[in-house]
Amino acid sequence: MSATTTATERYVGTRVKRKEDAALLTGRGTYVDNLSLPGMVWLAIVRSPHAHARINGVDLTAARAAEGVVAVFGGADLADDWKAGLPCAWPVTEDMKNGTHFPLATDKARYQGDGVAVVVAESRALATDAAELVRVEYEPLPAAVDVEAAAEDGAPLVHDELGTNVSYVWRLDAGDVDGAFADAAATVKGRYYHPRLIPNAIEPRSIVVQPNPATGDVTMWSATQIPHILRLLAAATVGMPESKLRVVAPDVGGGFGSKLDVYAEEVLALALARRLGRPVKWTEERSEAYLATIHGRDVVQEMEYAADADGKITAVRVSLTASMGAYLQLVTPGIPLLGAWLYAGAYDIPAYSFTCTGVFTNTTPTDAYRGAGRPEATMAVERAIDALADKLEIDPVELRRRNFISEFPKTIASGLTIDAGDYQASLDKCLERLDYDGLLEEQQARRDGGDTRVLGIGFSTYNEMCGLAPSRILGAIRYAAGGWDTATVRCLPTGSIQVITGTSPHGQGHETAWAQIAADLLGYGIDEIEVLHGDTAFSPLGLDTYGSRSLPVGGVALWHASQKVIEKARQIVAHQLEVAGDDLEYDSGVFTVKGSPDKTMTIKGASWAAFAAHNLPDGMEPGLEAMAVYDPPNFSWPGGAHAAVVEVDTETGDTRLVRYVAVDDVGIMVNPLIVEGQIHGGIAQGVAAALYEEGRYDEEGNLQTANLVTYLVPSAVELPSFELDSSTTPSPTNPLGVKGVGETGTIASGAAVMNAVVDALSHLGVTDVQMPATPERVWRAIQEAKQ
Amino acid sequence: MRHVALTVNGEHRELELEPRELLVYVLRERLGLTGTNVGCDTSSCGACTVLLDGESVKSCTVLGVQADGREITTIEGLATNGSLHAVQQAFHEHHALQCGYCTPGMVMAAVSLIEEGEAGSEQAIRAGLEGNLCRCTGYHNIVKAVAAAAGATT
C-alpha cells in the first residue's frame, strides 16, 4: 500500500459481531405483533375441530351480535373474493392431482384446524370471544391419517373430486439397478420412517394489513420469509395488481421454512382489509400454530443398498411415501424431491433408483421445514450404510471411506454435479477431535463391566444440495419461479452506502455479513454500510430466504453489484485524474495511477463526483449505484462429518446426547461467528428430531401433540455444548467461494444421533430403533432384541 | 375494571384493567412496551419473562391486577445510561441471539439467575434456563454468554 492510501480493515472471514443485535437486545425489535395502527381491527379464525367433516351449516347470528364485532363471514360469504385458490408453485409432474384450496373451507373441513369462518372485532379479546359464538354444523367423516393407509384403495378421500389420495408419483432412474442387485455380494433393506415435525419458530405468525381505500394501495406487514413471493401470489389470489401491494417483512422471529408460504390468514387479512377499509391484524396463538402453520417430514422411506464383497456400494433403490397433508401449500409436493438426488449421499454409487409417491391425508399440510427432504435422505443413507457395515462386519468409518466420492467436480448418478468437497478430510478431522479409538475402548469397557449406562458412537458423513438455485434446473423440475437473486449497492454522496438485498433474513445476520462483503470490496468501514431488506417498496426484485440460498445467491449478487460500482467509479476516477481506466490499480476502495502512487482517488470521492456531476465523462449518468441479478450456474454443495456420542440407560431406555462433534465444509466463511451459530441451531433441530420431537395424530386425525407441553422442543438441559471445526474447500461456482450453511446441521445431525443410539445397543442385538428414540422406544427395542 | 398502580422500569404507572388481562398484554398493549414477546399460550417458552420485584416471572402467567403495588423491569429497562447490561453485552459478544425473539425473555431469565447465584457452572446455567426456549442457537452460545456474564467457569 502506498503512503496515500489507508490500510483498510478486512472483514470477510472475521468474527464481526452483529449489527442486528443492538435493537434486538434492548427490546427495540420491529416484529409484526408490535405494530398497532389507528382504526385497526382484529381477525380471529374459527377452525374445524374435526380432521374431516362435511360442513352442513354455519350460523353467524350470535357472533354478529356480539360486543365489538365489525364483521363475521363464513367460507361461502367470501367465495367471490378469491380469483384463485391458495397457490402451489411446484406441480411436480404433469399429471399431479391437486384439490381446490380456498382460504376458508366451504364444503368440507379437511384437517383439524381448517378455517371455516372469520370474525373481525375491535380488539384481540373481543374477536376471540365472538369466534366462540360461531355455530358450525359438522358431519364428521372417517379420516385418512396414516400416509400409507391413505394411499390404498378405499381410504377416505381428502378431495372427493380427485377419486384418489395419491397426488403424484415421481421417479428418477439411472444405471442398471436391477442388475447391480442381482450381482450383489450383500444387500441391505431398511424402513426409515421420518416422523412429522412441527417447526416452532418462537415468534408465531403475525399479519397487519393497511388499505388505502382512496387509492387502492395496500401495505401488508407479515412475519414471513418471502415478502416478494408473497406479494406476487397474494395479489393474484385476491385479484389486485401486484403494483398496488407492498409487503414488508420487518424483524421476523425465526422461520425454518414455516414462514415460506402463502397462508390463508395472509390473504384473508388482505381481502378483509380491502372490504372493510380498515387495518386488519391477526396474530397466531401458539396452540393455533400447531394446527395452522405447516408441518414437515412425515415420510416413509424404504431404502436398499447393493454392495460387492469389498463393501463397495453398487446401487441404491429407494421408495418414499410422503404425506402432503390436506392441501398442497406453496412447495408441498416438491419437498421430498429436494432429497431426490441425494440418496447416494457422499458416496460414489453408479446405479440409482428413486420413487416418491405424494399422498393427501387429513392432516395439517406439510411443506418446507429446515433441511426439507434432505434430513430424511441423510437419515436413510446414513442408517443404511451402518446397516451394511454391520452386515459386512466392516467398521462403519472404514465402509464410508471405501465409498466416498473422492474427485471433484463429480457428476453423480442422479445427474447433478458436485462442484467441490473433501469428505475424507472432514472425516479425518472429526475422528481426531472425537478420539474415536478412545471412545471405542470406553464403550467396550462399559459393556465388559456390565454398566447399565452404555455408550454409542454414530456418524453422519453427509453432503447436501442447497442454495436454490439455477433457474433453468428449477424450470426443468417444474418449479414455477426462478432461483436468482438481487443486490443493489447505492453509494450515497457523503460517504455511506445502502445495500439493498432481495433476500429476507429472519435471524441469519445478513445486515452484518452483507456489510462485511461490501465493506471489503468497496473499502468502506462496516458501520458505513446499511443493509436494507424485506420491503418490496425498495427492493422490487428478490426471491427471499429459504433453502440456504441467501449467501450463495444473494451474497454473490452483492459481489457482482459491487463490481459494477467499481467499474463505474473507475471511469469517473480516470476522467478526473485524466488517465485511461486501464492505468488505474484498484484495491479496497482506492484507485491509484500505476507508477504514480501519489495520484489516488477513492470510491467515496467518486461517489461525491457522481452526485455533483460537475465533471463526468460525456454521456455518463450521474449517481453511483448498481444493481446485479445473479442466477447461480449450480446448486451449493456443503458436506462434512458429524459424530454423536450418546449414553443409553439399558434399564429405562433413557438416552442422552453427551458429545457432538461437527466438521463442516461450508466453503469460505464470511463470518465464522454467524456460521457457527447456524450450525449450532441446525444441529439442535436434528437432535430434537432424533430424540424428542414427533408430531402425532390419533386415528381420527386429532393432533395429539398440539402445544409446547406435549410436543417436546428441547431446552438447554437436553443438549450439550457442541464441538465444531471446519474443513474448507471453496466453492468454484461463485467468486466468493461460499456455500449454503443454514440447513447443514439439521441435515446431518439426526442421522448421527440415530446411528449412535443403535450403536449403543448393538451388543444387545438391536439393529434398528425408530425415530424419535424416546425412552419407551429404546426400552422396547432392547426387550424385543432379548426375545 | 380494577385500578392498578405499579412501577415499570422505574416509572410509576396507574391503569384501569380488566381482571382477565395478562401482565404481558398490559405491558405490550397498554404501556407500549413491546420488547417483551409472546411465544406461546402454555407458559412453556419463556419469551415473556420479566422481573417482578427483582425475580424472573413469565408475564403470561401473571395477571395484570396481580402486579398492583409491585415493581417490574422489562428488557427496555435493563440498559442504564445508554450502556448495555452485562448480560446484554455478553449476548452480543458471544452471538447468543439470532432472530432475537426469545432474547428479551432469555436475557431477563439470565439476569435473575446470575443475581440468585445460580449460574456457577454450565450445568447450573442449563438447568436455570430450562423454562426458556430458543429455536435458533441450540443454546450453545447462550450458555457461553451467561457464563461469561456471571464470571463462571465452564
Same domain, A409 and A447: yes
Q: Say whether B99 and A506 touch across the interface (CB within 8 A).
A: yes
pLDDT of A507 over the 80 cut: yes
Q: Say whether B141 and A684 touch across the interface (CB within 8 A).
A: no
| B97, B133, B138: residue with CB nearest A25 | B97
Quick check: A20 contacting B, CB < 8 Å? Answer: yes
Domain termination site, one of A630, A665, A680: A630
Same domain, B130 and B95: yes
Domain termination site, one of A598, A630, A662: A630
Same domain, A489 and A615: yes
Q: Which residues are CB-contacts of A300 (< 8 A; sequence separation ≥ 6)?
A: A147, A148, A191, A193, A320, A321, A322
Same domain, B106 and B55: no
Give the dihedral sign, CA A267/A272/A277/A280: negative
Maximum separation of any 2 CA atoms in chain A, in Å: 90
| A17, A507, A676: residue with CB nearest B136 | A507
Same domain, A603 and A686: no
pLDDT of A44 over the 80 cut: yes
Same domain, B64 and B122: no
d(CA A785, CA A787): 5
Q: Say whether B91 and A707 touch across the interface (CB within 8 A).
A: no
Same domain, A601 and A660: no
Dump strand ranges (E) for A651-762. Answer: 655-665, 723-726
Residue B30 in any domain: the answer is yes
Same domain, B43 and B109: no
Residues of B in contact with A287 (CB under 8 A): 40-42
Domains of chain A: total: 3
pLDDT at B81: 87
Q: Say whether B38 and A26 touch across the interface (CB within 8 A).
A: no
Same domain, A673 and A778: yes
Residue A150 in any domain: the answer is no
Residue A477: C-alpha distances to residues A92, A94, A374, A466, A635 (Å): 7, 10, 17, 15, 14
Best residue in A715, A743, A744, A749 to probe B by mutation, most B CBs within 10 Å? Answer: A715
Same domain, A693 and A775: yes
Asked whether the beta carbons of A293 and A205 are under 8 A apart, the reply is yes
Structural domain span for residue B38:
2-76
Residues of B in contact with A34 (CB under 8 A): 28, 34
Domain termination site, one of B41, B76, B111: B76
CA distance B26 to chain A (A): 13
Residue A478 in any domain: the answer is no
Best residue in A24, A685, A724 to probe B by mutation, most B CBs within 10 Å? Answer: A24
Asked whether the beta carbons of A433 and A426 are under 8 A apart, the reply is no
Residue in chain A lying closest to B82 (CA): A26
Q: Say whether A707 and B74 touch across the interface (CB within 8 A).
A: no
Q: Say whether A27 and B75 touch across the interface (CB within 8 A).
A: yes
Residue B57 in any domain: the answer is yes
Q: Say whether B39 and A202 touch across the interface (CB within 8 A).
A: yes
Domain termination site, one of A292, A314, A347: A292
Residue A221 in any domain: the answer is yes
Same domain, A447 and A500: no
pLDDT at A7: 45
- State the average pLDDT for chain A: 97
Quick check: A317 contacting B, CB < 8 Å? Answer: no
Q: What is the DSSP string of A74-112?
A: ETGGGGGG-SS-S------STT-------SS-SSEE-ST
Same domain, B57 and B108: no
Same domain, A692 and A781: yes
pLDDT digits 0-9 by tens, A383-439: 999 999 999 999 999 999 999 999 999 999 999 999 999 999 999 999 999 999 999
CA distance A122 to chain B (A): 14
Residues of B in contact with A36 (CB under 8 A): 29
Peptide bond into A409 cis (omega under 30): yes
Q: Say whether A507 and B98 touch across the interface (CB within 8 A).
A: yes
Residues of A in contact with B37 (CB under 8 A): 31, 33, 202-203, 253
pLDDT at A5: 35
pLDDT band at A336 (very low <50, low <70, confident <90, very high): very high
Quick check: A375 contacting B, CB < 8 Å? Answer: no
Best residue in A15, A17, A26 to probe B by mutation, most B CBs within 10 Å? Answer: A26
Quick check: A33 contacting B, CB < 8 Å? Answer: yes
Same domain, A607 and A690: no
Residue B81 in any domain: the answer is no
Q: Say whether B143 and A506 touch across the interface (CB within 8 A).
A: no
Residue B93 in any domain: the answer is yes
Residue A1 in any domain: the answer is no
Domain termination site, one of B76, B104, B125: B76
| B101, B122, B132: residue with CB nearest A31 | B101
Same domain, A558 and A530: yes
**What is the three-state SS of A258-303?**
CCCCCCHHHHHHHHHHHHHCCCEEEECCHHHHHHHCCEEEEEEEEE
0.95 surpassed by pTM: yes
pLDDT of A79 over the 90 cut: yes
Intervals of chain B under pLDDT 70: 152-154
Where residue A714 sits, what CATH number does that domain have? Answer: 3.30.365.10
Radius of gyration of chain A (CA): 28
| B20, B107, B133: residue with CB nearest A25 | B107
d(CA A453, CA A646): 10
Residue A61 in any domain: the answer is yes
pLDDT digits 0-9 by tens, A15-35: 999 999 999 999 999 999 999
pLDDT digits 0-9 by tens, A441-494: 999 999 999 999 999 999 999 999 999 999 999 999 999 999 999 999 999 999
Domains of chain B: total: 2
Same domain, B65 and B90: no
Q: Say whether B45 and A286 touch across the interface (CB within 8 A).
A: yes
Q: Residue B10, Cβ neighbours under 10 Å: how many?
A: 10
pLDDT at A8: 58
pLDDT at A635: 98
Residues of B in contact with A252 (CB under 8 A): 99
Q: Say whether A21 and B137 touch across the interface (CB within 8 A).
A: no
pLDDT of A251 over the 60 cut: yes
Report the percentage of chain A scoring pLDDT > 90.
98
pLDDT at B152: 57
Which A residues, 603 through 662, put their C-beta within 8 Å of a C-beta on chain B?
none
Same domain, B133 and B72: no
Same domain, B72 and B108: no
The residues with which A59 forms a beta bridge, in sequence order, are A135
The residues with which A490 forms a beta bridge, in sequence order, are A498, A625
| A253, A287, A674: residue with CB nearest B101 | A253
Where residue B133 sits, what CATH number does that domain have? Answer: 1.10.150.120
Summarize the confidence of residues A248-270 as an average pLDDT.
Answer: 98
Residue A305 in any domain: the answer is no
Same domain, A661 and A776: yes
Quick check: A512 contacting B, CB < 8 Å? Answer: no
Domain termination site, one of B57, B76, B95: B76
Q: Would you give the distance in Å from CA A384 to the centre of its chain?
A: 25
SS3 A624: strand
d(CA A576, CA A599): 11
Where residue A213 sits, what CATH number does that domain have? Answer: 3.90.1170.50
Q: Residue A126, Cβ neighbours under 10 Å: how many?
A: 20
Q: Say whether B100 and A24 touch across the interface (CB within 8 A).
A: yes
C-alpha cell at A614: 460537475
d(CA A530, CA A518): 10
Quick check: A257 contacting B, CB < 8 Å? Answer: no
Q: Which of A321, A253, A285, A382 is closest to A686 using CA atoms?
A: A382
Structural domain span for residue A602:
484-630
Summarize the confidence of residues A693-710 as an average pLDDT.
Answer: 98
pLDDT of A644 over the 60 cut: yes
d(CA B23, CA A686): 35
Where residue B54 sits, what CATH number does that domain have? Answer: 3.10.20.30
Residue in chain A lying closest to B84 (CA): A26
Distance between start and end Cα atoms, chain A:
76
Quick check: A284 contacting B, CB < 8 Å? Answer: no
pLDDT band at A1 (very low <50, low <70, confident <90, very high): very low
pLDDT at A4: 35
Residues of A in contact with B97 (CB under 8 A): 21, 24-25
Same domain, A541 and A621: yes
Q: Say whether B134 and A203 touch across the interface (CB within 8 A).
A: no
Residue A10 in any domain: the answer is no
Residue A2 in any domain: the answer is no
The residues with which A321 forms a beta bridge, in sequence order, are A300, A357
pLDDT of A264 over the 60 cut: yes
